[in-house]
Amino acid sequence: MNTSIINQLREILGNENLFDSIEKRIAYVSDASRLTGSIPDAVARPTTTDQVSRILRAANSARTPVYSRGAGSGLTGGAVPVRGGIVLDLELMNKILAIDVDNMTALVQPGVVTADLQQRVQRLGLFYPPDPASSDFCTIGGNVAENSGGLRGAKYGSTREYVMALEVVLADGEIIRIGSGAPKSVTGYDLVRLFVGSEGTLGVFTEILLRLIPLPEHVETVLANFPKAAQAAAAVCAMFANRITPRAAELMDEGAVECVRRYKASSALPASGVFCLFEVDGPRPATIGDADRVVEICKSNGATLVKKAANDQEREHYWQLRRAISPALYTLGRVKLNEDICVPRTRLAEMLDKTQEIGRRCLLRIVNFGHIGDGSIHVNVMLERDDEELSRKAEQAVAEIFAAAVSMGGTLSSEHGIGLTKARFLGIELPEKEFSLMARIKNLLDPNGILNPGKFLDVGRPEKP
């Protein structure tokens, strides 16, 4: 990158918010995917939309890549720089600008941490439902860019359902506002939906207007142990069939239970079988009734132990076990390929069995957990060591898992996005014409390809492996 761009960045940001020393730049080569890219030439930490606009204008003129970054908690390498250039770290744009209690909306900057917003609105009797398991550290900007889901997706959906309007800085520095603050609007194409989930490839979000809903009066949490994952999947289908929409339905299979047990001692974890957490919410009497029915449904689907959380402390303990999975998995292997497929709920049992069959055949350890209430399974292919032959085998297993998910009417990614890790598998799901339409949209909005290059569309549409 030429010195003229660095000088322009310094003029826009001052010395304090421009990182150009190697010690600081090197901290941005990776994200939670553990993939490493190239060291960026500069890290820009803007505090205003105007600064973002000026940075993009300068980068676009010089054809310099720009990688937007929230907290770097992405699991597909979305924020990883791959061709040098500028990392645009949005951490300092972290203000909750307004909460409109009567109209139930929040206007935020992209660097707001998700849990901070959840807690602020909760104190006002309001609810922001999207709840990625990373909510304590991930940002709303990252959530919008990935259309993040999470623990309450079964009832409340993903981030997309809550984004009403966006301020976006386009590749050439132009600032646009899309969407509406009105509760309903069908004026023109739904550009907000196009930008949500665009993984930093179409523009940079600098302000986000979010829909809030009333905070549910009461929540009940039920823990259940089933001998087999397929029984847990059947119980979830039975809940919906019995007109209960659990706000959470989380599964940890035998492998996940084993590593969480190694990582964190707890009598709540079963000695064998799978561990599930269900949550229902709403008005108190109805919720208590729903929780009793969840208990019955679990029992009639083969659960060996079912227990309602007696109090907030017990409930929090159960959730801590669930949140411990990600770090605990590393007790099984040094390398983890973490995939986030989704299938229709009625195919969950079949898909869970299929992953284990693939694991046995490829001699690989596969551990599943996930938000089974909305059909999401986090499939983790665990490798003992970073080894070329093992990696090739794992990649083949992942391709088979994706192909199986798509053949069951499912998808490659329910919530983590495509980023770097899944780009080469896109051909399994995206037909040629859909891919080419997406490539034309990208080209229209970012003709010089400066926004997050090297990521999903940029590698071309691979054929089905």
Ligand X SMILES: Cc1cc2nc3c(=O)[nH]c(=O)nc-3n(C[C@H](O)[C@H](O)[C@H](O)COP(=O)(O)OP(=O)(O)OC[C@H]3O[C@@H](n4cnc5c(N)ncnc54)[C@H](O)[C@@H]3O)c2cc1C
Tell me how far apart the alpha carbons of residues 79 and 203 are, in angstroms, rounded to a whole number: 14
Q: Which residues of 301-339 are buried (b: 16+ CB within 10 A; e: fewer)?
A: bbbeebbbbeeeeebebbbebbbbbbebbeebbebbbbb
Shortest distance, CB of residue 271 to ligand X, whole angstroms?
Answer: 26
Tell me how far apart the alpha carbons of residues 24 and 135 are, in angstroms, rounded to a whole number: 25
Residue with the two structure tokens 């007790």: 331
Shortest distance, CB of residue 318 to ligand X, whole angstroms?
Answer: 16
Q: Given the rule CB under 6 A, which residues bind ligand X?
A: 31-32, 67-75, 78-79, 90, 110, 132-134, 138-139, 141-143, 145-146, 148-150, 199-200, 204-205, 326, 415-416, 452
Shortest distance, CB of residue 184 to ligand X, whole angstroms?
Answer: 25
Shortest distance, CB of residue 453 to ligand X, whole angstroms?
Answer: 11
Which C-beta is closer to ligand X: that of 85 or that of 142?
A: 142
Shortest distance, CB of residue 102 to ligand X, whole angstroms?
Answer: 28
Which C-beta is closer to ligand X: that of 196 or that of 404?
A: 196
Shortest distance, CB of residue 454 to ligand X, whole angstroms?
Answer: 11
Q: Give the count of beta carbons closer than 10 Å to the beta carbon of residue 459.
A: 13
Q: How far is CA 112 from the centre of its chain?
A: 16
Tell me how far apart the alpha carbons of residues 31 and 154 are, in angstroms, rounded to a whole number: 27
Which C-beta is closer to ligand X: that of 129 or that of 273?
A: 129
Which C-beta is closer to ligand X: that of 39 or that of 238?
A: 39
Sheet bearing 96-100, strands edge to edge:
96-100, 105-108, 204-211, 163-169, 175-179
Shortest distance, CB of residue 376 to ligand X, whole angstroms?
Answer: 8
Q: How far is CA 379 from the centre of its chain?
A: 14
Q: Which residues pair with 371 in a beta bridge?
A: 250
Which C-beta is closer to ligand X: that of 143 or that of 225?
A: 143
Question: Taking Cα atoms as reference points, which of 27, 29, 35, 113 lies closest to residue 75?
Answer: 35
Spell out where 46-198 has E strands: 66-69, 86-89, 96-100, 105-108, 126-127, 163-169, 175-179
Shortest distance, CB of residue 404 to ligand X, whole angstroms?
Answer: 22
Which C-beta is closer to ligand X: that of 78 or that of 129?
A: 78
Tell me how far apart the alpha carbons of residues 69 and 78 are, in angstroms, rounded to a whole number: 8
Tell me how far apart the alpha carbons of residues 361 and 363 are, in angstroms, rounded to a whole number: 6
Which C-beta is closer to ligand X: that of 204 or that of 404?
A: 204
Shortest distance, CB of residue 423 to ligand X, whole angstroms?
Answer: 12
What distance, in Å, lies between the first and last C-alpha atoms of the chain?
36
Which C-beta is closer to ligand X: that of 37 or that of 141?
A: 141
Distances in whole angstroms, Cα of residue 256 to Cα of each of 61, 76, 252, 263, 332: 49, 21, 5, 11, 10
Q: Which two tokens stand for residue 263?
A: 């990582």
Which C-beta is closer to ligand X: that of 143 or that of 287?
A: 143
Tell me how far apart the alpha carbons of residues 322 and 256 are, in angstroms, rounded to a whole number: 9
Which C-beta is closer to ligand X: that of 79 or that of 251?
A: 79
Q: How wide is the angle at C-alpha 301 spanned by C-alphas 321 and 230, nearest 5°?
A: 65
Shortest distance, CB of residue 133 to ligand X, whole angstroms?
Answer: 3
